[in-house]
Structure 1
């Protein structure tokens, strides 16, 4: 664990030296909240709360897909990464440090979303529900973390950036993150339960409000998490075998 924390500190120092990396992760969810949620939920506390939860999941997706997907692929191209991979520490240290770094960056990216919702929308949440929502964020981030790690270890930097850009917005739309719960277009309601982001956002909706989750969406969420977790391990081993055989 000490090695993992040391690597985490190093990775965070790298990121903090490039403030735009932090600002970029928070921009899209915060901007979406300002332009689409704030003007349309002034007299609807329930709608504002659920919409804020959707933007939290949106921020979680962006932070983990870009942070791990493009971040890992970029690190693999640097001289420091091949050196650390030759050290006798095993993949657990690498994975743990990257996940801890991702969680830290994700939480920082959520701060503007929460502040904007608190100041400019009628969204409300009880203190206990707010604490539960923090744990819910950690759970809902799992498939996107594993997805980002898979992309990062499988692809080059340019390819990873293109794939992440192609994935995150269509997945958010298909999951209904950009619509009011229950008011999505018909085809979105049909496919949404099978999209990993749908299970994530339904867990958030159930945590912050009175929402009954769809069991299909939750099962799909678990299946996607396990699938991308296995794929991330495979991608790491494949990259290690090719570069350090």
Structure 2
């Protein structure tokens, strides 16, 4: 009887599910994100192949010529590498986040013990890894087929600058992902990426484009993104490099503010 009373008065303790640490959660989600991307050929194949395909069509015939004072092959490799990161940022964040919102994935994550910041950090890690893989494929193809080679230090610096300069477009992708639905996300992303690429001179040098494009290009974030990358291989920049970074920082702050606003609006709609 005493044992029964003791058991009733003192129920067995329950153990709560411990929250995973932020680094562990980021690693696990990043791995899941990369596996998901690799399992979607419609995303993985164009992302990895398109920059290399562009170089094969437009870069290889111009290898050995001079463009903007440097070898045209190296110039175009850097151009298409920058374009690939633009695409990854807009599609990995914009289209992916929009799709996950529609599928309820983000709602499911809210009820898990995972730290909220892990979701966005994992997206950043996955985008950086995907972008690095895309650049690796492009540079390897250019070296093996077009014999376009960079000094190791120069190539490392180009890659680091490209990955750092990608940040504002990551924020733009998040704004897109939280603003539109999954059906409209891909077309809208294309409507953003392609004008940015043309306005920056990544596809066609600005000197060959219409005068109107040359006038508005310096106000585009992609223009400054391209200038930072090209200056590393010896292209004469239109201004001091720090100026380009300041423009990117300003655009990044604007896009981050818009992304935060879109996120809060989406949360209010869903959860009141």
Matching of residues 11-22 of structure 1 within 5 Å: 11-22=33-44
| Structure 2 residue 250 is matched with structure 1 residue 228 | no
Give the C-alpha shift of residue 126 in structure 1.
1.3
Give the C-alpha shift of residue 122 in structure 1.
4.9
Which runs of at least 4 in structure 1 moved beyond 6 Å after TM superposition? none
Matching of residues 79-228 of structure 1 within 5 Å: 79-89=104-114, 91-180=116-205, 182-215=207-240, 217-228=244-255
- The answer as to whether partners of 2:75 and 2:230 remain within 8 angstroms in 1 is yes
Return the match for 2:31 from 9, 32, 46. Answer: 9
When the two structures are aligned, how many residues end up with a matched partner?
245
For 2:204 and 2:234, how far apart are their aligned partners in 1?
16
Q: TM-score, normalised by structure 2?
A: 0.82
Which region of structure 1 is more displaced relative to structure 2, 221-230 or 35-44? Answer: 35-44
Provide Cα deviations, 1:140-182, integer angstroms capped at 9, x if missing partner: 2112111111101111011211211111111111111112365
* Structure 2 unaligned blocks of 5 or more: 1-22
Give the C-alpha shift of residue 87 in structure 1.
3.4
The equivalent of 1:42 in structure 2 is 64
Provide Cα deviations, 1:29-86, integer angstroms capped at 9, x if missing partner: 2221111111123344622212211111111111111111111101111133211023
- The answer as to whether partners of 1:51 and 1:180 remain within 8 angstroms in 2 is no
For 1:3 and 1:217, how far apart are their aligned partners in 2?
34
Give the C-alpha shift of residue 88 in structure 1.
4.9
Q: Which has the larger Rg?
A: 2
For 2:33 and 2:46, how far apart are their aligned partners in 1?
17
For 1:192 and 1:169, how far apart are their aligned partners in 2?
13
For 1:227 and 1:161, how far apart are their aligned partners in 2?
22
Change in CA separation of 1:223 and 1:72 when aligned onto 2, cut-off 3 Å: same
Change in CA separation of 1:112 and 1:181 when aligned onto 2, cut-off 3 Å: farther
Which region of structure 1 is more displaced relative to structure 2, 42-51 or 105-114? Answer: 42-51
The higher-RCO structure (CA 8 Å, 6+ apart) is 1
- The answer as to whether partners of 1:196 and 1:224 remain within 8 angstroms in 2 is yes
For 2:49 and 2:168, how far apart are their aligned partners in 1?
22
Provide Cα deviations, 1:164-203, integer angstroms capped at 9, x if missing partner: 1111111111111112365444222211111111111111
SS at structure 2 position matched to 1:77: helix
Change in CA separation of 1:181 and 1:190 when aligned onto 2, cut-off 3 Å: closer
Provide Cα deviations, 1:96-136, integer angstroms capped at 9, x if missing partner: 11111111111122222112221233533211111111211
